[in-house]
Each structure stands twice: as structure tokens, then as C-alpha cells.
Structure 1
Amino acid sequence: MSSDKRPSLLFLTSPEHGQANCQFAVITCLREHYGDDIDIHLCSYPELENRTLPSVTFHSVKGEGIVKYFEKITGSPKAGLQEAFKTISSPTGFLPACMAYPRLLPLLHPESPEEYVASANDVAKILADVNPDFIVCDDLFDQARDAIINSGRKFILISPNTIKEVAGKNQGLGRLWKWPALVSGYAYPVPWHLIPLNIVATIFPLFYFRRYERFLTLIRTRNAAGYPDLLPKWQANQTKYSKIMCMSTPEAEIPAVYPPGVICCGPILQHSKPLQEVNEKMYEWVMAKPTVLIVLGSHFVTSEEYANKVMAALNVLLDARPDIQVLWKVRKDCEFEIAGWKEKEDRVKVVQWLEADPIAILETGNIVCFVNHGGSNSYHEALQTGTPQIILAAWVDCYDFATRLEYLGNGAWGNKGSAPGCDTKTLTKALLKVIGATPDAAEATKIWERAAELKEIVTDGGRRIGREVAAGYVWEGLQEALRTYHD
């Protein structure tokens, strides 16, 4: 046990918002329930330190997160961001699906093998210095997982993703023909005529990586440094050393096998202050009319062409529905005026930044549709609040949520066939389908009812909050570890 009088927890995470937010949600929850009775530490790359709560001790790891690493090699934040997301920007289809995982490796591990080992060794040193009683680790933070496994310490993994990402290899042969291959864009279940292509796209990476020198060099370098086997995230059994928590709720998911050790918490989302407390004027504006919220992720940069296509689709909706308004967060790639926006600016509020978190806006109950990029956090924010959604899939890891949305019936894929770009005709069709050309449109009503039904499922009628569930499992793991130390 730690020499500190208080039980100690160490959280380890990649610094990217999509990975770190679920850990912040759990940390905040633990603080609310147990106050200063536990000593909480957070370990990540330096760029996450300024987001860390004052009551949490931060430990910096040698190296950089994905975006910062690309900033370093390109020489500027803007170029780094563009390069990072160019790496995982891809159209859908058979050939892109075959190369999906090979495209992901340089993004998840842009560092050199030597830099990887240096980070893992640094985590090992932090583990020895902090000597935590229990550890919570981001499932994508391979360097940290390597160090933890070698240390023999007790830990639990946490993922901001779903059963498909954490237990794909546990699905048996059904995975080959039921689940759409990553980036394929195929529907769930995979149509019969596409099954042969889906099988090839799913197994191709297994053969590719056997000859992919970058991957093999990283494995050899790790092994030589004392970290055995494949990268932890790439090993077949993700629950070999610990349990893993994810955001899925089985009854609100695509059918899957749930192996022992996989804990389905539901949406693990951060608590946010109500919109009216953060920005009263924005709250009054949102509550004035049924509102469409458009937020395409914290890193998505919008081109003039893309924005103009979205606006053209919005114009069709707004002409059909005078009772609707739009709140649109746009991060432009350069200075430009969106075509057709001036004529509708009284009903289309365009902002570069939202003072409140998107979930705070969704929780007002006056959002009729959430247009998002298909990231896990955004998808689950809409799921938890019962908000119909349209996904404008931006990157390779977003397409699965678009196909999941179509299968579950709580929204529409707004750029199907044109992703990662945008097609006005397809988006217009999605907007009219999800929101309706009239307030009582039958299809839109059905989608709204389905979204509300899924909310009831994932929250158990408001009695179940994902971050509370995850925090409970962390506390349980800590208590079990303490009992082991005392025995």
C-alpha cells in the first residue's frame, strides 16, 4: 500500500479531449462523493496540465500527444492540426476500409520507437514514485499500459468508445460478416452482397501488419526494452490483465458478444453547468424556438465550400419550417462569409466558440436535432439527452457511429456517400427526415420517439448516470486493492 495515509488513485490518459474527458468525468465524480478522502493523481503529456483540477496532482510524461507531436514536426499549430487529421480523413468504401488500420497507426503512434520507449520508461518511473493503490488507464495509452503491465500493479482500463472498439476481437467469426469493416460505410447488418468484401477488408490488416516495417520496428524496439508481445491495444484479449469500462449500453447497441471483463457503463460524460447559469442570453435565444445545434468537434476546421453546402441545406429546412432556428459553431480555416447566411442571420446564429458545453445546450430540452461529426462523446451526449442527431462523419473513427445511428433509428447519416466532405442534397434530405418538413411529420416523429426511448434505456429512466457507474467501479477496484494489500 502507498505510504500516504489516504488511499491513492492514479489516472493515466492521452491528452486529447476525446480520450481525457471521460477520465475527468470520473475524477470529478469521485471528488464529489469522497472529497479529500482519496489522493488523486493524473499522468499525461504536458499539454493536459492546464485542464487538471487544482485538487489533483499532475505528473508530466516525456513526449507529446498526437496534435502536439504533429505541431512539432510541421512547425505550427495550424499545420500540425491539419496534418494530424489529414492522416485519418478518408472516404468510405472497400479500398479505404482495407487501409483503415494502417492509416491509424501513424496517428496513434507518430513518435519514433525510441520516443515510445522513453515515454513508457517515464511512466514506469512515475508509477514507482507515486506508488498508487489503484490505477485507471486510457485504453489507447499504450505506453502507459506497457509500464503498468510490467509493474504488476492493479488497474482498470477506461475507454470513451463502445463494445466494437474494446471487444472487436471477441466477436468470433460473426465479426467478419455482421459488423461493417472500419471505414467501409456498409450498413449494419452487412448486406449479403457486400459480405465477401467486408471479410477481406476486416482481415487484410492482419496480413498487412506482418510486413509493415514501421509497425514491426516499433514492436521489436519495445520488446528489446522489456515490453513483451504486441502493443497492448493491438493484442487479441483486451481484458487479459484487467477489466475495461466503455460507454456502451447493450440494449441501445448493435448486437454483440459481451465478454467477461467488459463493463458497460453507459455514456461517461462530464457534468456541465446548466446553460442558463453559463450564458443567460444564449439560453433565452435557444429557448425562443425549437433549435438545431451544429457542433462538428473541437478539432474540425470548416472550409468555405463545406460551410456553403451546409448553409444551402439549412436554407431548405428554414424555408419549410419558419418555427425553426439554428445555432452553429464554426471554426473556419480562413476568413470568409458563408453564402446565404446574411439573409437568415436572425434565425441562424453562427459562433466561433460556445461558452457552454454542447451537452448543457442539449439538456435544455429545446434542441430538435444535434448535427455533429460522429465522435463518441458527441454521439453519446445526444444519446443520453434523447436528442435526434445527424452525423456529418469527419474521420475514419466516426463512420461506425453513423451506421449505428441508422440501425438504431435515432437519426440520419448526413454525408453518406460524400464523407468526409458534405453534399447539400444528402444533408437536406437528412434534415427534413430528422426534423420534418412540417411539425407533425410522421418520420421525424418516429425518430424523436426512438431517441427518447434510447435515452430511457441508457439512463434507466434517469436513475443511471454513466460517470457515476464508472466511478463506482473505480472505487470498488480501489477497495479490492486495499483489501489485498492488507491480507
Structure 2
Amino acid sequence: MARRSSTGAIVALIAVLLGLWWARSTQSSSTSSSPTAKDLIRGKNNTVLFLTTETHGLCNVHVATAFALAQRHPGTSVNYASFPALAKRIARTSALAAASRTDPQIEDNGSPLITFHALSGASYRDVVTNSTAYSGMSLIHGPGLAGAEGLCRVMDIGINGWQVDDHIAQYHSARAIMDAVDPSIVVVDVLLGPAYAAVRDARRAYAVLSPNTITGHTPAVQPLHTMLWKYSLIASGIPYPMKTPKQLLINLIYTYKMIRCAIAKASQDAQKLSVLQAAGLQSIVDVTAMYDPAAPFITQTLPGAHVDLLVVPDNFVMVGPVNLAGVEELLLVNDGAATLPPLLEWVRRGPTMLINMGSMYEFREPELRVMAAAIDVVLREVPGVQVLWKAKLAKDVVGPESRYFRDDEGLLASLCQEGQQNGRVKVEKWLEVEPPTLVLEENVVAYVHHGGAGAFNDALGAGIPHVVLPMWADLYDYATLVEYLDIGLWGCPETSPVWEVECLSSAFVEVLSGRGNETSSRGSIRRANAARFGEQAKKQVGRDVAAQEIARLASL
């Protein structure tokens, strides 16, 4: 048996090495062209075009940077292309930029500071949530070996998941917008696959702006051997650094499985490409070619808030958290508002734990009941703390047999009844104040979130500890990252993505420890570590740094 196991491990090792060699070799012969800098087309000077998805978790960094460009760089023409669902948000962001300009020398001609352009075809959310094969909840999978098939499914949906007609429509509309705007620099979202390919095919000068950490974008440039012993793959759930032979073996097998998945996905993309080329498209950006070493790459990574990297590519710029934190409050001050939004008034009553599972996750009744029971434990064991819970509900949150069928308000009122009645719990389907602004409130002492890049960086910038409840893909990487940095906890790691009351409440109570005169050494250390990152982040505003870099690129 031992010989068979060791033989299997050797076979897996050989397969992994061959797979890694294949992945790297395909980067140089990708189905998508990557022109050299001297061949790139630069259009009108000081003209920027953002090309992004419309989902909040992916485009928040782009929207915030567009705001900063419009607010602080009046000589730059700012254009934003996305799906129609984002149009109102861009209009509001443009108005916010105009209202918050502090330079009296800037003239207002009445035109929007950010010009919106609509992409054609199905949106990213449509692709993910309304696929004929999968529902939105199908994104959810476990970490590591148990979740490998689920991650492969997510890759299938989330990377070039558009049907052929929608792919073609998005590609051509992106090229038409680029021709009309003629930007000197295009700022792209790498998950907007057809538009990303259109940018490369048009040989436009471009930069990538990403919400994710530098770690997630640079595994291919690290020394090959580190993939076997230092860095685990996305969603492995293995702590960094790997320490035990068991972890190394699991990572080896997991890497082998994911390489097989990537090869299968590349084969599917190649088949799709032949159809697209027949329709006049030139290329497709597959999973092996999303990173372009020749393009400037701006990430909201805060230096030091990532795992140790042996190689940091020269084209990366780390700017720290990029969001619209404080913008709403800034406008209230400028407008001389006499009253704060009710939500801010409520938060300012006392120490608050914020629970926000992002824009993609939708609660169903079983998860609502588990979360509510865990909150009830917090109310009993942590005196003086209140809980603000954003609970976005699924359309089928309950079945027709439930007393709360088509009664969302009644369902929400049934959660944490005593806590809601005595004012210590507030349950909202949507937050009237954006989370980046909320977490800056001194009274917000902990943030429970899904592990999205935006939520992670919001908490990082605010200097407060996290509880991460990951459910898919790189959300698991943020769960292991908060524990590596010792600034938070992975809630329910043994049962993820499923929650149980005991492990959930235990994580909540633990993350709330170490405040004031409390003597919890672990909680105090964790809170101090988080505070140090917060102080570092406050030294510069990430959106302003990103905007400055893009303005520089636009003026070359």
C-alpha cells in the first residue's frame, strides 16, 4: 500500500510538472495577441476609457478611480463603458465628482464629468446568474480537493462564459466605442473577456486595474518549483506557508486536478475561437493569457498585506484600498446637512459588528436562521455590542409552504426578534450608506464578510479585524490571508461553505475580543495588527494614487 501511494504521488508530481510547463508555454503562444509597446495605438491625449463589468465586486475599483480622475484631473477626459445596468451608478458618480471638487478655478460647463457608453450583449451578472446550465448559487463550492469540480465550474462560467452571439456583440461594441472615443489609454477589467480581447486585437494602449491582490495575478511569474512547496493554488484552502507533508501532497493532487481543468477550458476556448473567427473576431483571452507582462497592472494591494512573493513584476503598481470611502460624508459636510443618514446615526450609538456578504450572495431561509442564531449568541456573550446585518434575499428565499412566502419583511422581522426589538440588531436588505464609508466609523469594530477583494480591502483600510465566510474561488484565499496576516478569522473552516451556529458564533465572539481594557491576548494582537494596516492605508488614498497613475499613462 505504501509503495502504491508513493508511486501515485510520483506520477502526480510528473503530471503537475508537465502541466505547469504546458501552462507557461501556452502563454507565449496564446490565442490572444499581446502587442509590443512600440506597436500600440495611442489616441487622443489625456483621454481615458474604462471597460468593465457591471457587478459591484468587480467594478468598484474602476468606478472609484473614475471618480478620482474626474474630481482631481480636470484636464483628463473620462469615459466609462459597461453594461446598461451600471449607467445610473456612473451618472451618480459623475455628479459626486462634480459636487466634491474643491478647486474653485475649475469651471463647470454642465456636462457630465464621466461619459457613459453602453456595451451590447448579455451582462456579466446575466452570464453568471442566468446561465441555462447553472443558477447563481451554483457558484458555491468547497475549498481544496472537495471543491475542485466546483471551482472548475466557476472558471467555466466566469471566464469567457458568454454565449457566442453575446460574445460577438460585446466584442464589436467594445471596438466601436474605442473607435469613437479614441482613448490614449484603456483601463480594462480582465474578466470582461470579449472586450479585453477587443482591446488587444485593436492594439490599443491599455492598463489593467484589478480589485484583487498581487498574489492572485502573479503565480505564473514565480519560480516554477514554488508551485510545489510554497504557493498553493486558488481556492485550495491550505494555509500559507504550507508546512506539513500532508498539505504538500494535497496541494500536489489539487494542482494536478486544476491543470486538467485549465487544459479542458483552453480546449473549449479553442473550439469557440474557431466559431468567433468565422464571425470576424481575431482572438479570445483564455485562462492562460489573462496576465500580460507588457501592460501596466494596477492593484489595490496594500504593500505588505499579501503573502511573501519571490518575484514582484516591474509592471505592477500597488496603491492600497481603492473605494469611495468617506465620499458621502464629505458631501454631507460640504452641503451643510443638519442630519446624518439614519443608518449612520444608529451606528454611532455604540460598538457595531457589520455583516455584509457582498452583492452576489443571496440568503435563503436556512442560512438566515443559522446567522440569526449566531448573532443571538453574540448578544448574550458580548455586552454592549450591536449588529448591523445586510441580508440580501434570494427570490426563492422560502418555498410556497412557508408562512413567510412572499413576505420578506415578515421573514426579516422574525430574525433575532429580541435583538431587533431592543435596538441591538438592525437587519436591512440594502445599506443606505456604502460599506467603505460605514467601516470608517469609529464604532464599527469588526467586519464579517464573504472574502471579496472589496470587503477585504475596506476592512484593511479601516484597520478593523475580519471574519471571512468564503464560498467560492478566491474568497478562500482571502480567508487564509487574514489568518496569515493575523488580522482576522476564517469562520467555520471545517464546514465551509456551510455554516453552523457553533463555529459561526465562536468566530464572532472571538473577533470582538481585545477591545478597550479587555485582556484577551489573541484578540488584542489581532486588533493591533489590523490597526497598523489601517494606519498604513490612511497615508494615501488608493483611488487618488490609481487615478494619478492612469492620468500619467494617458498623457504619455
1:445-469 residue CA offsets vs partner (Å, 9 max, x unmatched): 1111110012123x2xx32111111
Query: 1:402 offset after TM fit, Å?
Result: 0.4
1:395 aligned residue: 472
Question: Of 200, 214, 228, which aligns to 1:163?
Answer: 214
Matched to 2:428, the amino acid is V
Give the 3-state SS of the residue equivalent to 2:328 in structure 1: coil
For the residues of structure 2 that align with 1:2 and 1:468, how far apart are their CA atoms? Answer: 23
Question: Of 83, 97, 114, which aligns to 1:56?
Answer: 114
For the residues of structure 2 that align with 1:206 and 1:389, how far apart are their CA atoms? Answer: 32
Query: 1:194 offset after TM fit, Å?
Result: 1.5
Question: Of 214, 234, 237, which aligns to 1:185?
Answer: 237
1:367 aligned residue: 444
Question: Of 27, 38, 41, which aligns to 2:79?
Answer: 41
Question: Of 453, 465, 483, which aligns to 1:376?
Answer: 453
Q: Select the structure of larger CA radius of gyration.
A: 2
Conservation of the 8 A alpha-carbon contact between 1:245 and 1:265 = yes
Alignment CA distance shift 1:303-1:424 (3 Å): same
Alignment CA distance shift 1:64-1:465 (3 Å): same
Summarize the alignment of residues 279-298 of structure 1 with structure 2, pairs less than 5 Å apart: 279-298=340-359
Q: Which moved more, 1:270-279 or 1:389-398?
A: 270-279
Kindly indicate whether residue 542 of structure 2 is the aligned counterpart of residue 463 of structure 1: no
Kindly indicate whether residue 123 of structure 2 is the aligned counterpart of residue 65 of structure 1: yes
Give the 3-state SS of the residue equivalent to 1:463 in structure 2: coil
Give the 3-state SS of the residue equivalent to 2:73 in structure 1: helix
For the residues of structure 1 that align with 2:514 and 2:316, how far apart are their CA atoms? Answer: 42
Kindly indicate whether residue 485 of structure 2 is the aligned counterpart of residue 430 of structure 1: no
Alignment CA distance shift 1:7-1:211 (3 Å): closer
1:77 aligned residue: none
Give the 3-state SS of the residue equivalent to 2:49 in structure 1: strand
Alignment CA distance shift 1:276-1:309 (3 Å): farther
Question: Of 481, 503, 526, which aligns to 1:447?
Answer: 526
Alignment CA distance shift 1:99-1:281 (3 Å): closer
- What TM-score comes out, normalization by structure 1 length? 0.88
Query: 1:438 offset after TM fit, Å?
Result: 8.1
Matched to 2:315, the amino acid is G
Conservation of the 8 A alpha-carbon contact between 1:317 and 1:432 = yes
Q: Which moved more, 1:398-407 or 1:217-226?
A: 217-226
Alignment CA distance shift 1:275-1:71 (3 Å): same
1:221 aligned residue: 275
Query: 1:106 offset after TM fit, Å?
Result: 1.9
For the residues of structure 2 that align with 1:437 and 1:113, how far apart are their CA atoms? Answer: 54
Give the 3-state SS of the residue equivalent to 1:201 in structure 2: helix
Conservation of the 8 A alpha-carbon contact between 2:122 and 2:166 = no
2:109 aligned residue: none
For the residues of structure 1 that align with 2:317 and 2:276, how far apart are their CA atoms? Answer: 29
1:306 aligned residue: 367
2:317 aligned residue: 263
Conservation of the 8 A alpha-carbon contact between 2:375 and 2:416 = no
1:33-58 residue CA offsets vs partner (Å, 9 max, x unmatched): 122x2222111222222222343222
Conservation of the 8 A alpha-carbon contact between 1:329 and 1:350 = yes
Matched to 2:509, the amino acid is L
Alignment CA distance shift 1:110-1:149 (3 Å): closer
Query: 1:71 offset after TM fit, Å?
Result: 6.2
Kindly indicate whether residue 253 of structure 2 is the aligned counterpart of residue 200 of structure 1: yes
Give the 3-state SS of the residue equivalent to 2:304 in structure 1: helix
1:150-182 residue CA offsets vs partner (Å, 9 max, x unmatched): 222211111111112221211222133322322
Structure 2 gaps of 5+ residues are 1-40, 92-111, 333-338, 398-407
For the residues of structure 1 that align with 2:188 and 2:515, how far apart are their CA atoms? Answer: 48
Query: 1:66 offset after TM fit, Å?
Result: 2.3
Alignment CA distance shift 1:337-1:384 (3 Å): closer
Q: Which moved more, 1:429-438 or 1:360-369?
A: 429-438
Query: 1:322 offset after TM fit, Å?
Result: 1.7
Kindly indicate whether residue 396 of structure 2 is the aligned counterpart of residue 341 of structure 1: no
Alignment CA distance shift 1:95-1:147 (3 Å): same
Give the 3-state SS of the residue equivalent to 1:7 in structure 2: strand
Conservation of the 8 A alpha-carbon contact between 1:275 and 1:356 = no
Kindly indicate whether residue 402 of structure 2 is the aligned counterpart of residue 326 of structure 1: no
Matched to 2:530, the amino acid is A
For the residues of structure 1 that align with 2:552 and 2:248, how far apart are their CA atoms? Answer: 42
Alignment CA distance shift 1:306-1:208 (3 Å): closer
Q: Which moved more, 1:372-381 or 1:151-160?
A: 151-160
Equivalent residue pairs, number: 467
Q: Which moved more, 1:426-435 or 1:224-233?
A: 224-233
Matched to 1:55, the amino acid is L
Query: 1:220 offset after TM fit, Å?
Result: 3.2
Conservation of the 8 A alpha-carbon contact between 1:87 and 1:107 = no
Matched to 2:180, the amino acid is D
Kindly indicate whether residue 473 of structure 2 is the aligned counterpart of residue 473 of structure 1: no
Question: Of 446, 458, 462, which aligns to 1:385?
Answer: 462
Structure 1 gaps of 5+ residues are 75-79, 481-487
Kindly indicate whether residue 289 of structure 2 is the aligned counterpart of residue 235 of structure 1: yes
Alignment CA distance shift 1:427-1:9 (3 Å): same
Conservation of the 8 A alpha-carbon contact between 2:228 and 2:252 = yes
- What TM-score comes out, normalization by structure 2 length? 0.78
Query: 1:210 offset after TM fit, Å?
Result: 3.2
Q: Which moved more, 1:326-335 or 1:403-412?
A: 326-335
1:483 aligned residue: none
Cα RMSD after superposing both structures? 2.6
Give the 3-state SS of the residue equivalent to 2:361 in structure 1: coil
Aligned identity (percent) is 26
Matched to 2:172, the amino acid is N
